[in-house]
A = this chain, B = another copy of it.
Amino acid sequence: MIDVTIPTALLRQYAQVRKWTETICRPLQKEDYVVQPVEDVSPPKWHLGHTTWFFETLVLKKFLPGYIEFDPLFNFVFNSYYESLGARVIRTDRGNLSRPTVDEIYTYRKYVDSAMELLLSQPLSEEAETLITLGCNHEQQHQELLWYDIKYILGNNPLFPPYNESPSPETPRSAPMHFIDMKAGVYEIGFAGEGFCYDNELGRHKVYLEPYAIADRPVTNGEFLAFIDAGGYKEFSYWHAEGWDWVKRNNIQSPMYWHFDDGRWMNYTLQGLVPVAPTETLSHISFYEAAAFAAWKGLRLPTEFEWEAAAGNFEWGQRWEWTESAYLPYPGFERVAGAVGEYNGKFMVNQKVLRGASEYTPEGHSRATYRNFFHPHLRWQLSGIRLAKTLKSSL
């Protein structure tokens, strides 16, 4: 049968993904695995358990005959938001749970991995393969979140402990920003071709774009410093009303992780507190800050369609780039039945699309059609800015 083969490649992918999650956590102290300083950050040990629970619940229970659940209470502890999969720890309580311990969760991982390897050494139905592939991609998403959360946990500790000592991976940017002109016309948007993609990328469809231009590189720290120095955080006219409220209520004066100390701007990085590097790509800004910066420049952010249509013309992948687009369904988008149907569709309101990828994105997990999304005030993720402008329209 064509759809039941021994999934050697999938087993290899599974093993690599699972190992990388643990590699990310290796430099952590046990205490670092436990805390949840704000609601959006999850304890690393929760990520370790949740990604494992995903395979146990959606794959092993269904496809591995005789599989015995590791611990029935883990369903309550490690369910994230799946209403169809039962009651769960409320999100703000994740950091209140000292148990299961880190060691117990690593044991849980081993237990599930053994069962998965057993399953993956046999011929597999297409449905099972699809769900395992989804589980790998799901874990890759959590790998990126792990980086964000680890950085937040360490970077908001008064001792500012470094995650490791390795040098910054970035090459300085010194070239001026140029704009790439894009012609008006009908473009095709959305995933087409082989391989994995999320349901929110599907439904390839046409959009008409008015003529525009888009920057060939993202904004740097130095360029954003000019905005701060020009009083950008103090002038309401650059801001959305809700952005201005956010600035005032939270007393925002710089990107996240920047501290003005002894007359200069310092930046918490995974290597500890270092001076802000002007030639480094800007990161950790909210949509509100991205939009205000663009307004100050007399420019704007691209829509996600403009971004995708032009993505072949510039390099991308250091930062998730905020777009002007709201996170909405493509025409013809449909929710799958069951728990997997809760993956994307139910979040399609009040969020903004980010395009591209970041340094934290796992290898093989980026596509030009990938639609990332966050609420507009969030900035613990590795976000940045690419500028755009409208060209003279034909109408």
Instruction: Judge if A239 is at the interface, Cβ distance under 8 Å.
Output: yes
Instruction: Judge if A320 is at the interface, Cβ distance under 8 Å.
Output: no
Instruction: Judge if A100 is at the interface, Cβ distance under 8 Å.
Output: yes
Instruction: Judge if A215 is at the interface, Cβ distance under 8 Å.
Output: no
Residues of B within 8 A of A89 (CB): 158
**In the complex, are the beta carbons of B99 and A159 less than 8 A apart?**
yes
Selected from B241, B348, B349, the residue in CB contact (under 8 A) with A346 is: B241
Please encode chain A, from 172 to 209, with 1 for each CB lying within 8 Å of some chain B CB and 0 for all others. Answer: 00000000000010101000000000000001111111
Selected from B77, B204, B240, B328, the residue in CB contact (under 8 A) with A349 is: B240
**In the complex, are the beta carbons of B31 and A96 less than 8 A apart?**
no
The residue in chain B whose Cβ has the minimal distance to the Cβ of A345 is B240
Interface size class of A (residues with CB under 8 A): 35 or more
Binding site for B on A (CB under 8 A): 29-37, 45, 73, 76-77, 81, 83-84, 89, 93, 95-102, 153-154, 156-159, 161, 184, 186, 188, 203-210, 212, 236-237, 239-244, 287-288, 291, 295, 300, 324-326, 328-329, 331-332, 335, 341-342, 346-350, 352, 376, 390, 393, 395
8 A-B pairs in the complex with CB atoms less than 8 angstroms apart: A33-B98, A37-B96, A83-B237, A98-B157, A205-B210, A209-B331, A240-B349, A331-B390
Nearest 10 A-B pairs (CB), nearest first?
Answer: A326-B326, A37-B96, A31-B98, A208-B208, A83-B236, A32-B98, A210-B331, A241-B346, A332-B390, A206-B208
